[in-house]
Amino acid sequence: MLQRMRSGDRWFNAINLTLLIVLALVTILPIIHVFAMSFATTEESLSGRFILWPSTWTTEAYRYIFDTGVFFISLKNTVWLTVMGTLINVVLTALLAYVCSRPQFSARRVIMFMVLFTMLFGGGMIPTYLVVKGTGLINSLWALILPGAISAFNMLVMRDFFESLPESVIESARIDGCGDLRILGHIVFPLSLPILATFTLFYAVGNWNQYFSAILYLNDPDKWPLQILLRQVVLIGQADIFSNLDPNVPLPPSVSIQMATVVLASFPIVVLYPFLQRYFVQGLTLGAVKG
Amino acid sequence: MSARASSYTPDIQARGNGIWSRIWKVFWNERFLWLMALPGLLFFVVYKYLPMLGVVIAFKDYNLMLGIWDSKWVGLKHFYRIFENPDIGRIFLNTLIISFYQIVFAFTIPIFLAIMIHEVSKRSFKRVLQTVFYMPHFLSWVVVAGIFYLMFQSDGAVNNMLLDMGLSKIDILSNSDNFRFMLVLQVIWKESGWGTIIYLAALSSIDMELYEAAKMDGAGRLRQIWNITLPGIRSTIVVLFILRLGSVLDVGFEQIFLMLNPSVRDVGEVIETYVYQAGVVNGNFSFSTAVGLLKGLIGLIMIFGANKLAKRMGERGVF
């Protein structure tokens, strides 16, 4: 009896692990393939094989992209957007979440309802567009930051976390004469570092990756973030957007340029994310289990 | 001493002037909290609630020169136009079909995946798997669409492999028969791993003694999954399903917008891409706002309906 069960267990584990490994390969191999192709030589990338490791490495495509101004302009826009946007996202979310976590605050239920309701119903694309236009943000990078300054869901999760902090610590600080600003800065934030790190990561990824607001609100190519450049190069097929002025520089095949642009547009995230994984799983499950 | 006395003056006034000064006193005591909330409140009022007021243009003929308030009221004209428009039926149908595929596949796969990961006993291996599976979630839709495009184009890696195996090429990028299939495939690839996080959190809180007891009773692994694991995440599945139903008409605008091309517009045009096309591109602000409003209202009804249904089934619901 026991023997039969053990062999059943072994079969189960073998099948389960095999399936999981196959699925993991399906997930990761396309990413490695694009990475490898972006460093492959012209002949190799045109051979159309499923390359995971180029036989000769070349940085031809990258040099071509870096030689043009377009890439650095959009990189600068994306970096500014990510830093400034994330700062505003995190500060505004944390402040409102803290205020709504104070049990004695008079308007907390009203504000909570106001936030929750925006998750159920919204004005939609066109009225929002008109408001953004009315506030004078068309063709400004601020249009990619302010209309999405707080994610209602993130704010609710953060408020749940602040509420779970021991009230006695906060009360004793108040008795010692701390105002709300000092309590927030010296007690609440230091105790909430994992969840603040989590939402910083989420907001930063969101800002780095956003492209549709840019299509909606920006007309001027000088303001394009990297994702828009990527869309032009890969999906609209304008690899010649990096119009190199020097006719003596040979043009790498457009496939290599496309692959290299994909790599550049996702590089910081793919590199940084495994190091941050511990934080976001911790932060997210805190919110999920409680909520 | 005198400074101390003056700080008590609001208190004295409060007793004198009734309700307004009592409100003022509460407000004054909370002034720092209000100060902290101010930027966030301003954001919600301007960028969330003003647009909700802005939906009135669905009942007007919006004119750029006149602005929102001075444009002429036309009642339900735009809603009649929606029901007279031959395209609208097809667009709602596309949205529902894509949404249905996503619920059947993209919603259920994370549940299976989470159970499979949960069954792995070696912690380090589990961790590596999670790192790999979460990765695509952090890539932007432009990157994901780009990777798919480069892999599946006619001389891309997938088609070359098919040729090498003696099979014929497939065209899933511009063939309208496969377009919806490809959309769902992308969502599965990008979000399945991420979708496991909440299930894994729920799974980790199941009492291990239950499994020990089941083992003693001679239950095999599949039986344990059916009788312990699945009931353990039942309420999580229900809550996520309610939320999913509430957004049944949101089918991933950013993704579809990127993949849409003229040869697949018949099967791939959904409500949101239509609103963008009619509103922003063609300038029919009022009409497209009416389409968007209709979608929002249906979403609202769906989420309350699903919540009620869940409660009738004995689950907790989301609100």
- Residue B111 distance to chain A (closest CA, Å): 14
- The amino acid occupying position B301 is I
* List of chain B residues whose C-beta atoms are within 8 Å of the C-beta of residue A148: 47
User: Both tokens of residue B76?
Assistant: 């339900």
Q: Nearest-CA residue of chain B relative to A235?
A: B146
Nearest-Cα residue of chain A relative to residue B135: A270
Question: Do B36 and A20 make contact, defined as CB atoms within 8 angstroms?
Answer: no
Least confident piece of the model among A94-103, A127-136, B1-10, B272-281: B1-10
Q: How confident is the model at residue B170 (pLDDT cuts 50, 70, 90)?
A: confident
CB contact under 8 A, A127 and B119: no
pLDDT of amino acid B106: 93
Tell if the CB–CB gap between A28 and B130 is shorter than 8 Å: no
Q: Name which of B84, B136, B111, B308 is nearest B229 in CA terms.
A: B111
- The confidence band for B109, taking pLDDT boundaries of 50, 70 and 90, is very high
Determine the average pLDDT of the residues in B58-82. 87
- pLDDT > 90: what percent of chain B? 46
**pLDDT value of position A243:** 60
Q: Hey, are the CB atoms on A50 and B161 less than 8 Å from each other?
A: yes
- CA nearest to B303 within chain A: A120
Give me the residue label for tokens 């647009």.
Answer: B51
| pLDDT score for A242 | 65
Q: Give the pLDDT of chain A (291 residues) as one tens digit per residue.
A: 455 557 788 899 999 999 999 999 999 999 999 999 899 888 887 776 788 888 889 888 898 888 888 899 999 999 999 999 999 999 999 999 999 999 889 999 999 999 999 988 888 899 999 999 999 999 999 999 999 999 999 999 899 889 888 888 888 888 888 888 888 888 899 988 888 988 998 899 999 999 999 999 998 989 999 999 999 888 877 666 666 555 555 566 778 888 999 999 998 888 888 777 777 776 666 655 443
Interface touch A269/B139, C-beta < 8 Å: yes
pLDDT value at B235 more than 90: no
Q: Taking CA atoms, what residue in B is nearest to A28?
A: B132
8 A C-beta contact, residue B102 and residue B187? yes
Contact A196, A155 (CB under 8 A): no
**pLDDT for position B215:** 86
Q: Give residue B18's pLDDT band: very low, low, confident or very high (50, 70, 90).
A: confident
Which domains are assigned to chain B?
2-73 (no CATH), 77-312 (1.10.3720.10)
For the cut 90, the answer to whether the pLDDT of residue B154 exceeds it is no
pLDDT band for position B8 (50/70/90)? Answer: very low
Which chain A residues touch B120 with a CB distance below 8 Å? 16-17, 20
**C-alpha–C-alpha distance, residues A261 and A226, integer Å:** 9
Torsion region of B18: left, alpha or beta (phi above 0 gives left; psi -120 to 50 gives alpha): left
Segments in chain B forming alpha helices (H): 2-6, 9-17, 19-29, 31-43, 50-54, 67-70, 77-84, 86-101, 109-119, 123-134, 141-152, 157-164, 179-204, 208-216, 221-224, 230-246, 253-259, 265-268, 271-275, 285-312
Tokens describing residue A209: 């990756």
Query: Contact at 8 Å (CB) between A160 and A99?
Result: no
Mean pLDDT of chain B: 87
Which tokens in the block code for residue B105?
């596949």
The answer, for A149 touching chain B at a CB cutoff of 8 Å, is: yes
Residue A248, chain B, CB below 8 Å: the answer is no
Least confident of A3-17, A263-277, B8-22, B47-61: B8-22
The pTM of this model reads 0.88
More confident residue, B243 or B111: B111
Give the mean pLDDT of B238-255: 86
**B157 contacts in A (CB within 8 Å)?**
33, 48-51
- The mean pLDDT of B75-80, rounded to a whole number, is 92
Q: Taking CB atoms and an 8 Å limit, are B157 and A50 in contact across chains?
A: yes
Q: State the pLDDT at residue B159.
A: 87
Q: Rounded to an integer, what distance in angstroms lies between the CA atom of residue A224 and that of residue A85?
A: 15
Does residue B174 or residue A283 have the better pLDDT?
B174
